[in-house]
A and B are shown apart, each in its own frame.
Chain A
Amino acid sequence: EAGVAQSPRYKIIEKRQSVAFWCNPISGHATLYWYQQILGQGPKLLIQFQNNGVVDDSQLPKDRFSAERLKGVDSTLKIQPAKLEDSAVYLCASSLTDYTHYEQYFGPGTRLTVT
Chain B
Amino acid sequence: LAKTTQPISMDSYEGQEVNITCSHNNIATNDYITWYQQFPSQGPRFIIQGYKTKVTNEVASLFIPADRKSSTLSLPRVSLSDTAVYYCPVYGNNRLAFGKGNQVVVIP
Contacts and interface: CB of A to CB of B under 8 A. Distances in A.
Interface stretch (A12-20, A39-47, A60-68, A79-87): A39-47
B55 to A, nearest CB: 12
B108 interface: no
Interface in B21-55: 32, 34, 41-46, 49
B91 A42 contact: no
Chain A contact patch, size range: 20 to 34
**A contacts with B: majority SS:** loop
A44 B97 CA distance: 7
Contact of B43 (A41, A56, A91, A103): A91
A48 B43 contact: no
Contacts of A40: 100
Contacts of B101: 42
B96 interface: yes
Contacts of B46: 102-105
A108 B42 CA distance: 5
B87 interface: yes
Nearest to B88: A42
A85 B99 CA distance: 19
Interface of B: 32, 34, 41-46, 49, 87, 89, 91, 94-96, 98-101
28 contacts: A4-B43, A40-B100, A41-B100, A42-B87, A42-B99, A42-B101, A43-B44, A44-B98, A48-B95, A56-B94, A56-B95, A91-B43, A91-B44, A101-B94, A102-B34, A102-B46, A102-B49, A102-B91, A103-B34, A104-B44, A104-B96, A106-B44, A106-B45, A107-B43, A108-B43, A109-B41, A109-B42, A109-B43
Given A43-B96, A55-B94, A102-B34, 15 more contacts: A42-B87, A42-B101, A44-B98, A45-B95, A45-B96, A48-B94, A56-B95, A93-B43, A101-B94, A102-B49, A102-B91, A103-B49, A106-B44, A109-B41, A109-B43
